[in-house]
Amino acid sequence: MMTEIETSSRSTTPLQGHLARVSEMLARHRLVEKLAHDEAHQHQDVVDSLVHRQNLAELQREIDKLHPADVAHILDALPPEDRLSVWHLVKADRDGEILLEVSDSVRESLLADMDAPEILAAAEQLDADELADLAEDLPDDVVHELMQRLDAPEREQLRSAMSYEEDQVGAIMDFEMITIREDVTLEVVLRYLRFMKEIPEQTDKLFVVNSENVLTGVLPLKWLLVNDPARMVSEVMAVDANTFHPDEDVVETAQAFERYDLISAPVVDVDGRLIGRLTIEAMVDVIREESDAETLSRGGLREDEDIFASVWKSLRNRWTWLAINLVTAFIASRVIGLFEGSIEKLVALAALMPIVAGIGGNSGNQTITMIVRALALGQVSPSSAKRLLRKEVGVAVLNGLIWGGVIGLVAWLLYGSAALGAVMTAAMTLNLLLAALMGVLIPMTLIRFDRDPAMGASVMITALTDSGGFFIFLGLATLFLI
């Protein structure tokens, strides 16, 4: 086993290397623990506990060397017992940073293992905007205690950040920004920065504000660097920055960051007063989370699942979707039930009907994927909806005639009935038409009622093309064949 790990760690990325090394140490640690337990009666406890402690010390050194994000990654990838062993080795002053980096479900499990003083110690290392991210997972009394310990402006920041919805700019802005006045020279700004000794991460521009804290412009660091230090900030700064408001939608804001290649941007209130800052780092998280949420909901999962979650937790995460699917499958089953008489007379119908339903679902999902994407990118206007519908109907009719024709021919050859083949082709075409219509109308309707079309659209279309496909095929067959 040792050899295997060593081979694999050589051929993989550094990150997987870290994980392999930590896993190996944990395995050794468990072995020693087991030996200690087995040989306890031989009074070798002292020696064993020494070996044990040596092992843990080595593991701790390994962990101390790692970037907080890498420790978080290892915690995410370890089974619960090992996860806690490693977590206990993390230096208290790094707890906060690492808690911010682990996945939601793992954060819950780590916080559950910590007592109030430990959580408070971890929280002390964090800024107000970072605390806001943690706060919802913390017990109320800890949050209260935390509030007490902050100074007034920080408390105000934390309260403000917590007052916004998760999908609003206000919830993800930070407060680490450098503000300057416009009536000074660049030389003064340069001296001020040297005096500050530190510039926050992801700072590519300084914010210029007046005495009322109203944002009057931004000064990119690169302009500060290439311009003559004798010039005034007001001459060099740009006035029309990309500014955002705290109640804006984070997904649209992230799209703006992507479009205009921003690194940071100011957040202002209705009066134009500077209240915070957005960074590309937070935006990348938004983009990643958006894509994750879509993947999860498309796969029928309610939320992110700790891969080592208990069976019970997994069940709860998956039940909603299974239950919905059970209902739609049951409806489809009852549609078939309507035609049991026909199936009894012509049993080939039972074998052929899933093809009609399946291809309809597939084609409907193709249409809906394209439309949902175009809607998310803001590419569909009411005037283009009609045009889209016409195109999708064209695609559906052609697909129906071609693929339906092929499968109709196969059905004719298999069951020796040209009429059965013709019904098959007609049913396929009609169900593809239904899929196209619904594939356009469902997302358009969801968005009209301000619902997210990515959620649930796929389930709905599949339910419709299943029940609809069975009904169309068995109905046509009953009319023309029975």
> Rounded to the nearest whole angstrom, what is the least distance from the CB of residue 471 to a copy of itself in the complex?
13
Nearer to a copy of itself, 4 or 141 (CB): 4
Which residues 49-108 are close enough to bind a copy of itself by CB under 8 A?
Answer: 67, 69-70, 73, 76-77, 79
Segments in 210-345 forming alpha helices (H): 221-226, 233-236, 250-260, 280-298, 311-338, 340-345
Min dist. Cβ of residue 50 to a copy of itself (A): 27
Are the CB atoms for 97 and 125 separated by under 8 Å?
yes
Q: Write out the DSSP string of 186-223.
A: HHHHHHHHHHH----TT--EEEEE-TT-BEEEEEEHHH
CB of 253 to a copy of itself, least distance (A): 10
Find residue 174's DSSP bridge partners.
277
Shortest distance (Å) from residue 205 CB to a copy of itself: 11
Q: 192: closest CA among 212, 174, 208?
A: 208
Instruction: Quickly count: other Cβ atoms within 10 Å of residue 14's Cβ.
Output: 9
Task: Please return the burial class of 318, using the count of CB atoms within 10 Å of its CB with bins 0-12, 13-18 and 19+.
Answer: middle
Please say which residue, 50 or 199, places its beta carbon nearer to a copy of itself: 199
* 373 binds a copy of itself, rule: CB under 8 A: yes
- Angle of helix 104-113 relative to helix 68-77, nearest 10 degrees, comes to 90
Nearer to a copy of itself, 122 or 280 (CB): 280
Find the part of the chain contacting a copy of itself (CB under 8 A) among 90-98, 125-133, 148-156, 355-363: 355-363
CB 392 within 8 A of CB 400: no
CA pair distance 282, 173, nearest whole angstrom: 8
Please choose, out of 46-54, 57-65, 161-169, 349-357, the segment that lies near a copy of itself by the rule CB under 8 A: 349-357
* Tokens at 454, concatenated: 């990515």
| 203 φψ region: left (φ > 0), alpha (ψ -120 to 50), beta (else) | beta
- What minimum distance in Å lies between the beta carbon of 296 and a copy of itself? 7
- Interface residue with a copy of itself among 325, 401, 437, 452 (CB under 8 A) is 325
**Token pair of 142, please?**
């800890």
Is 403 near a copy of itself (CB under 8 A)?
Answer: yes
Tell me the closest approach of the beta carbon of residue 75 to a copy of itself, in angstroms: 10
Work out which of 123, 143, 352, 427 binds a copy of itself, going by CB under 8 A: 352
Nearer to a copy of itself, 49 or 295 (CB): 295
Question: Contact region for a copy of itself (CB under 8 A) — 54-62, 133-141, 198-206, 211-219?
Answer: 198-206
Distance CA(122)–CA(101), nearest Å, equals 13
Binding residues for a copy of itself, total number by CB under 8 A: 126
288 binds a copy of itself (CB under 8 A): yes
Shortest distance in whole angstroms from residue 230 CB to a copy of itself: 11
Q: Using the minimum distance from each CB to a copy of itself, give the nearer residue, 138 or 170.
A: 170
Angle between helices 418-448 and 348-376 (to 10 degrees): 30
| Backbone phi and psi for residue 21, each to the nearest 5 degrees, phi listed first | -65, -45
Neighbour tally for 159: CB within 10 Å: 13
Q: Does 295 bind a copy of itself (CB under 8 A)?
A: yes
Verify binding: residue 425, a copy of itself, rule CB under 8 A: no
For residues 386-397, one letter each, b for 16 or more C-beta atoms within 10 angstroms of the residue's C-beta and e for the rest, the string is: eebbeebeebbb
Residues of span 213-232 touching a copy of itself by CB under 8 A: 221-222, 224-228
User: Measured from the CB atom, is 232 or 315 closer to a copy of itself?
Assistant: 315
Rounded to whole angstroms, how far apart are CA atoms 371 and 454?
10
Q: Please, what is the minimum distance in Å from the beta carbon of residue 282 to a copy of itself?
A: 10
Residue 171's CB: how many other CB atoms inside 10 A?
Answer: 19
Residue window 239-278: x/- pattern of binding to a copy of itself, with contact defined by CB under 8 A: -------------x---xxxxxx-x---------------
Site for a copy of itself, residues 134 to 153, rule: CB under 8 A: none
Structure-token pair, residue 91 = 């230096």
Q: Binders of a copy of itself among 305-324, rule CB under 8 A?
A: 305, 307-309, 311, 314-315, 318, 321-323
